[in-house]
Amino acid sequence: MSNYRRNYIPGGTWFFTVNLQNRQSDLLTRHIDPLRAAIKTVKRTKPFTINAWVLPEHMHCIWTLPENDDDYSGRWREIKKTFTRAIEMRYVWQPRFWEHTIRNEQDYRRHMDYVYINPVKHGHVNRVADWPFSTFHRDVRDGLYVQDWAGEPEDLFAGEPK
């Protein structure tokens, strides 16, 4: 077995990719309410900031943890477990998840763009604003992105390794 080491930094910010066992499934969008409830439940006991989040058959998100906390793995474990129990299924998730520690403002910006362009990249919609399962709409309301922001998927390399 590989000796995988995660980078734990109190108060850090990370980009995550979390996959379903079945990458062709609509499970997350079909069960969006239990997923949101699972996240809300975990946030109540183990707070974190959701900087960005998008999904169809997998999730990309960016989180920032509180100043003296680095336990993102525990949060993922609880979100996955709570969601799985809520929908009464087994074998929902691929084991583990992929994370990248955000290093600086440029790295943060590129990963935010990557999260939001993902549904366009995978052919779910033609415009970022047309995808309903994304915090992009919150960031438009907050003035961080403009409604017609699109980006070019081939110009954005961040997040998933090639």
Residues 109 and 24: their CA atoms lie apart, in Å, by 28
Residues 74 and 57: their CA atoms lie apart, in Å, by 22
Query: Which CATH class for the 13-155 domain?
Result: alpha beta
The larger pLDDT score, comparing residue 4 to residue 135, is at: 135
- Amino acid 2: pLDDT: 57
Tens digit of each residue's pLDDT (9 = 90 or more) over 81-129 = 999 999 999 999 999 999 999 999 999 999 999 999 999 999 999 999 9
- For 17, the token pair is 């990719």
Residues 8 and 1: their CA atoms lie apart, in Å, by 21
Q: Where are the domains of the chain?
A: 13-155
pTM above 0.85? yes
